[in-house]
A and B are shown apart, each in its own frame.
Chain A
Amino acid sequence: MHFLSQVFDWFTTSANWSGSQGIPQLFWNQLELSAAVVATALALGGGLGVILGHTGRGGLVAVNAANAFRAVPTLALLTLLAIQPAISLKWNGFLAAWIALTALAIPPILTNTYVGMREVDADVRDAAKAMGLTGAQVLLRVEAPLAAPFVMAGVRTAAIEVVATSTLAAYVSFSDLGTYVIAGLNTNNTVLAFCGAILVAVMAGLVAAVLGLVTRALTPLPMRRRVRSRLLSTRPGFA
């Protein structure tokens, strides 16, 4: 119990809750970084997924390429960017972390967007066309709402991975919750590292819960029941 009481002490020390290395500031830094990464990945990966899914061309190649991307070690991208003089510690390391983590977040979003677009019933698409909707209208009014739950599943997976992995950004000197973990690791201070890990897990849990609510809100009512069982077989990144 000694260990846990030390953890409790750390969390109740008021000094840890203020200043540029305090919990609120580092929590915010990490949230900001993660949000920027997911937004960028959604624009790039989601955009590409929509185009490929809408046209139905080159999708399989893209999905397989996205899978290969998974093996790209984030640590390598992060450190490589961080030692380039043009990037190095620009914005206190934010830039290097932003680019490196975006590469991590694109594959699940791209794959799910593509799958979601392809899952749209061809009959529904044809019916929309037959009713005189233009290509853009089919995309915005039919395909997008129907694919939204899938896209959001990808966003959720990506967001959780990004929050968890952004701890590594502290290794290239960006100040976020990973700072506690890395500092704890370097100084053999398990309590500090443990507290950092708890905070990251809390953030990942919060992000997952909020995105779960957003997904629900974006899912067209009649789909809410059906999609849940459907998603199991096309789970983000796991399919």
Chain B
Amino acid sequence: MLLGTNPFFRWSYVTSQWSQIQGDLVQHIELSLIAVAIGTVISIPLSVLAWRYRVVRAPVFGVASALYIIPSLALFVLLGPITGFVPPESYKTAEIALVGYTLLILIWNTVAGLEAVPADAREAALALGYTPRAALVRVDLPLALPYIFAGLRVAMATVIGLVTITALIGLGGLGQQITYGFTNDYNTPIIIGLVLSIALAAVFDLLLVGAQRLAVPWARTRKPAKGAG
């Protein structure tokens, strides 16, 4: 495509910079996994509360929506003075912003999943002598799993794309390749960042689909729940 000093893709960059690229890839995975893991741990109890108690619903969705709307870049800026702008302190800055971004996606899907649980199933569980809490853990949440997994897939893909922005506060994972390429007018690193991010998202998506098949064996014989695709 391009000639001269800036070819579209230069393989020699990959071989000579391999250890750097590998390091960025590992950091990218780390940042993404931590964000989605913390987001999941926070979102499930919040979703249960929002589902059970109508009063809690508006504030939970309100805060999650606000976190979703604030540009991630701006969130870094706002948190920076408190949690730090340079690594390793900026890890905290990045993770708080990324987790904040996952919450709306995860809570929305989990609540939708819980609402889709057939009332018959819950009543049957209660009639069998389950306490409400046991019914929640053994009936409601498992039946909501297809929705929860749908949320996880979207959250994972979104976070993997977003992590690159943390390059502006000295992290970034593959985002470092992108900013390096931009400041040096060099296509290759940007394309590496782009392609590896998409590949990473595809790999994690497949892993999540696999995990879902293991966690929701009964869904295999049926059509997937509507809205979970």
A residues apposed to B, CB below 8 Å:
60, 63-64, 67-68, 70-77, 79-80, 82-85, 115, 160, 164-165, 167-168, 171-172, 178, 181-182, 184-185, 188, 190, 193-194, 196-197, 200-201, 204-205, 208, 232-235, 237-239
Contacts and interface: CB of A to CB of B under 8 A. Distances in A.
Contact of B77 (A181, A204, A234): A181
Which DSSP category, helix, strand, loop or mixed, fits chain B's interface? helix
A167 B73 contact: yes
A116 to B, nearest CB: 12
A94 to B, nearest CB: 17
Contacts of B70: 164, 197, 200-201, 204
A79 to B, nearest CB: 4
A178 B74 CA distance: 9
B29 to A, nearest CB: 13
A232 B111 CA distance: 9
Contacts of A238: 104-105, 108-109, 112, 150-151, 154
Contacts of A68: 157, 198, 201-202, 205
A165 B69 CA distance: 10
Nearest to B72: A164
Contacts of A208: 69
The list of the 7 closest CB pairs from A to B, nearest first, reads A71-B201, A197-B74, A79-B182, A193-B77, A76-B194, A73-B164, A239-B227
Interface stretch (B17-25, B34-42, B121-129, B184-192): B184-192
Given A75-B178, A190-B81, A205-B69, A237 B154 contact: yes
A76 B168 contact: no
